[in-house]
Amino acid sequence: MESDTQQIALGLRQGDVVVLETLVEQYQYRLVRYLICLLGRRDGVDDLVQETWLRVLERGSSYDGQSRFEPWLFRVARNIALDAMRKRPMFSLDSNDGDGVRPAPASDKPSPFTLAARTEDADRLARSLQTLEPVYREVLVLRFQEDLSLQEISVVVGAPVSTVASRIYQGLATLRPQFEGETA
Amino acid sequence: MNHHESFQHMIDESLAGHISAEREQSLREHLDTCAPCQEYLSASNRVIAGLGGFSFEVDPTLNARVFASLRRPAQRFQAAQPDRRRWVLIGLAAAVLTMGGSFVDLQFGRLIASVFDIQRTHVQQGLLAFWIVPSLFVLLLFPLLPLLSKVGTHREERIL
């Protein structure tokens, strides 16, 4: 009996619309969340999501079904987002110098994180997340939200495992001070 | 790096899933008795819990829009599938024909020459010119055929 990932790979090779629609329904929210966390904004994300699924259809034959589908999907989405940023540069995903923080955009509009915060801790993190460098925000969300292993994250971001690990440490170090000196 | 910093780095490693079993064990033992490191772990866990406290809204029409945008490309993609199968069949047929031509030449060349009362070399030349070389040519060109076909399709799309 074929595993789920092999069935996905077969469906993608055949351009099977039913398989694609099932994948869209299953992964849409996680894809939207990943792209928002990667870009730090909400506008334009829906277009990138559409483009990502089109790319999944076009390049689906390169998914071999040997590993989980999520890392492959996020890798595709990341490439689409990078292409979009090259056309309309806002910030670089490759910049990771300094303390991992960049200036907050000058805008009265609440950040997507402020709007999406549903708990007190999330509310406290919202502003710091907005100013955190995308490379750190990205690995934090992939590790602690998407539950990807370091190896899988390394595939998504195209960086060695050691780099991914140090980005996670740096991201946690930037956000942690808000909760230090308190009992949980 | 002082004693606590060393264990706090191990906490980071543990949270990232990048720690060996021995170091994890040593960390657990240390945490039982170290208040500053317990606090460090607690603050880290709250960051992780905080990251899970976001709920992004997704436009309820997004799935429908994605399905609509996929439908036509998916049909085109599926329509292109038989083409690939056809190219594979052509390649196989060319390989079989090349081998068949050589086989006929080797096994029946002399017989054909005697039946038609012609020289064996003429039979060979005829088979080469009208059978073996054309099928060999298709076989050698085979890897390029899908590429040529794709160029043609793109040109067609641009015209449309």
Q: Residue B155: is its pLDDT beyond 50?
A: no
Domain boundaries, chain A: 4-179
Of B68 and B89, which is predicted with more confidence? B68
Nearest CA of chain B to the CA of A74: how many Å? 17
Q: Residue A116: is its pLDDT beyond 90?
A: yes
State percent of chain A over pLDDT 90.
Answer: 76
DSSP string, A78-92: HHHHHHHHHHS-S--
pLDDT (0 to 100) of residue A113: 94
Q: What is the pLDDT of residues A61-73, one digit of tens each?
A: 999 999 999 999 9
- Region A65-84: mean pLDDT is 96
Q: Name the least confident of A69-83, A113-127, B85-99.
A: B85-99
Q: What architecture (CATH level 2) is domain A4-179?
A: Up-down Bundle (1.20)
Count of CB atoms situated within 10 Å of the CB of A78 = 20
- Which A-chain residues 142-161 have CB contacts (< 8 A) with chain B? 143-145, 149-150, 161
> What is the Cα–Cα distance from B68 to A58, expressed in whole angstroms?
15
Residue B11: closest CA among chain A residues belongs to which residue? A169
Nearest CA of chain B to the CA of A160: how many Å? 13
Domain boundaries, chain B: 3-51, 80-159
pLDDT (0 to 100) of residue B156: 35
- Region A128-139: mean pLDDT is 94
CB contact under 8 A, A122 and B57: no
Q: Estimate to the nearest angstrom the gap between the alpha carbon of B38 and the chain centroid.
A: 47
> What is the Cα–Cα distance from A51 to A53, expressed in whole angstroms?
6
> What is the Cα–Cα distance from A34 to B64, expressed in whole angstroms?
20
- Region A43-55: mean pLDDT is 95
Q: Is A39 exposed, middle or buried (0-12, 13-18, 19+ CB in 10 A)?
A: buried
CB contact under 8 A, B16 and A24: no
ipTM attached to this prediction: 0.86
Q: What is the pTM of this model?
A: 0.74
